[in-house]
Amino acid sequence: MKLETERLVLKPIDESYVDDILKIRSNKITNQFVKRIPPKTNYDALDFILTIKKRVENKETFYWGISLKDQTNLIGTICLYRFSEDRKEAEVGYELLPDYHRKGIMSEALKAVLNFGFNELYLDEILAFTNKFNENSKSLLLKYQFILEEGRKDEGFPENIIFSLKKNE
């Protein structure tokens, strides 16, 4: 499923984006706030893509590659995943290559995904888990009126803080 904004295309990820996914998910600046083992080879990136494709097919996740309308390459990703059992709550996750930070790109992508989540999937709440030192992510979430959930903890990730946005807030 493709989403479009004024400047962006959010599109499904397939095997043709191996190089882009490797570049995005292995970026040192992006990964300073994300606890994961970065892909080292095209094979690692392909394995990730195939996993995501299967999760999308099984409706476990909605996952988009972000590209500028005048380009085919991906500059980031955004997803809705970790749906609650009743499918009324999901988590949003996103990443963007550093060259594209502070240009309103992720803001534009997030707005489209929030709209999709609340108006197409009929979610009641969207959560976001971010590193407490990731100022760009925190300010993005606050821009869209996400509320910091002071008492909630991300088990196993003590550096993370949790934000939530309820429909109609």
The domain spans of the chain are 3-166
Whole-number pLDDT of residue 126: 98
Q: What is the pTM of this model?
A: 0.94
Instruction: Give pLDDT tens digits for 70-93.
Output: 999 999 999 999 999 999 999 999
Mean pLDDT value across residues 18-26: 96
Query: Amino acid identity of 84?
Result: S
Query: Amino acid identity of 70?
Result: D
Helix (H) or strand (E) holding 120: none
Task: Judge whether residue 31 has pLDDT over 90.
Answer: no
Task: Judge whether residue 152 has pLDDT over 70.
Answer: yes
CATH topology of domain 3-166: Aminopeptidase (3.40.630)
- How many angstroms separate the CA atoms of 117 and 145, rounded? 15
